[in-house]
A and B are shown apart, each in its own frame.
Chain A
């Protein structure tokens, strides 16, 4: 199946731990993103990569570090997890992200709970 897939689907961890979320897309897209959706359903962009190059880096604590080994993969590593990091993290991709008619295709999300 062609899709954006991210793992794990659920992640429960304690404060202070370090965790990673992985994302892969087989749609042949050149741009990938991480979005965070809070408890009020607000989707906010965190990072964007185009062909492994960081394009967008919003005001995100430097505890969050994205890594893109190739244009089909974008991982998110989070250090020293805090309670406020609890949210659903969505990976997304788009073909030629700069084009005005280029929509996002979302993965199924990773629900992170920090206790």
Chain B
């Protein structure tokens, strides 16, 4: 079992709709969770992070964490064509460990 799993997609969503990206992780000791966006040929850029159960909102983005189910998701409201990218979920294991483990990413395409 992979440490961090994501559906590779592609996920196609109409412009203006909500895009829902999912991620599961295997290490129950994981403490914090990050979502990165990566455009083709570019470096990953941080969208947001979450470490408490529940929802965290930042503009059009909402991260949702359920530690009991070992599940983290990213919702993008009012999807725009500029949101088309690969979204990477990353998990930090526990305190005292600098390692950030990434999933394979989900390729999202917003259809105008």
Interface positions of A (Cβ within 8 A of B): 31, 33, 35, 40-45, 48, 50, 55-56, 90, 94, 97-98, 100-101, 103-109
Q: Contact check, A56 vs B38: say whether CB atoms are below 8 A apart.
A: no
Kindly count the residue-residue contacts between A and B in the assembled complex, taking CB atoms under 8 Å apart.
57
Partner of A106, one of B31, B45, B96, B105: B45
Alpha-carbon gap, A13 to B2, bound state (A): 32
Interface size on B, residues (CB 8 A): 25
Q: A56-B98, A100-B92 are in contact. Are A41 and B104 (CB under 8 A)?
A: yes
A60 to chain B, nearest CB (A): 13
Alpha-carbon gap, A103 to B45, bound state (A): 10
- Asked if B25 is an interface residue, CB under 8 A from chain A, the answer is no
- Return chain B residues, CB-CB under 8 Å to A94: 98
Q: List 25 A-B contacts (CB under 8 A).
A: A33-B98, A41-B38, A41-B86, A41-B104, A42-B104, A44-B102, A45-B99, A48-B99, A50-B98, A56-B99, A90-B43, A98-B96, A98-B98, A100-B51, A100-B92, A100-B95, A101-B49, A101-B51, A103-B46, A104-B44, A104-B100, A106-B44, A106-B45, A108-B43, A109-B42
Q: Contact check, A109 vs B43: say whether CB atoms are below 8 A apart.
A: yes
- Asked if B97 is an interface residue, CB under 8 A from chain A, the answer is yes
- Return chain A residues, CB-CB under 8 Å to B92: 100
A113 to chain B, nearest CB (A): 14
Partner of A42, one of B42, B43, B49, B102: B102
Q: Contact check, B46 vs A43: say whether CB atoms are below 8 A apart.
A: no
CB-nearest residue of chain A relative to B105? A41
CB-nearest residue of chain A relative to B33? A100
